[in-house]
Amino acid sequence: MARSMKWGITLSVSTALLLVMVFGASLLHQPAAAQGTRTIYMAAVEPKGGTGVSSEPFPTASLPGGGGYVLKAPDSTGRWEVSTYQWQPGVVVAREGEQVTFEIIGINGAEHTSTLPPFVKSFTVKRGQITRVSFTANRAGVFPIICGNHQPSMTGYLVVLPR
């Protein structure tokens, strides 16, 4: 499991760096007035899928704990479901020195108690509500956006480009 977690983090950081390479140039060439503030729109979502045991057997391997993955056993009709919790988008980009506001809508999951170290110690996203989180992106780097209720899958990344 540690190896798969390592690959997942490596893949996520690689994806973030690819996004920086693709979109970073446009961020660096914005007018000075636009570089001072940034609103990033996000959602707390739960993609899910399911089938019946007559079409596909119920998985025997257990999923990682932590609330981020949910595997529901077959019901009386033989239907089973699997779901995961995620931030959408999973990688967001800002520029060092910007005043950033996340505007996050809770779609699925009753509550997401979260953090964005080192910028935001704690914030909570609730289903059906918009949560606004503001901070100054005063350090360049890649920073995790972590929902403590739904690990390991509900970790996104804030990429802060250097000035």
What is the pLDDT, as a whole number, of residue 30?
46
What is the pLDDT, as a whole number, of residue 34?
52
What is the pLDDT, as a whole number, of residue 118?
98
Write down the residue that tokens 């509900």 correspond to: 154
Chain centroid to CA 153 = 8
Per-residue b or e along 76-100, where b marks 16 or more CB atoms closer than 10 Å to that residue's CB: eeebbebbbbbbeebbbbbbeebeb
Question: Is the sign of the CA dihedral 22, 26, 13, 113 positive or negative?
Answer: negative
The domains of the chain are located at: 2-42+86-161, 50-83
What does the pLDDT profile of the chain (163 residues) look like in tens digits?
444 444 444 445 555 444 444 444 444 444 444 558 999 999 999 999 999 999 999 999 999 999 999 999 999 999 999 999 999 999 999 999 999 999 999 999 999 999 999 999 999 999 999 999 999 999 999 999 999 999 999 999 999 999 9
Q: What is the pTM of this model?
A: 0.79
What is the pLDDT, as a whole number, of residue 35?
59
CATH of 2-42+86-161, one of 3.90.226.10, 3.40.50.12780, 3.30.390.30, 2.60.40.420: 2.60.40.420
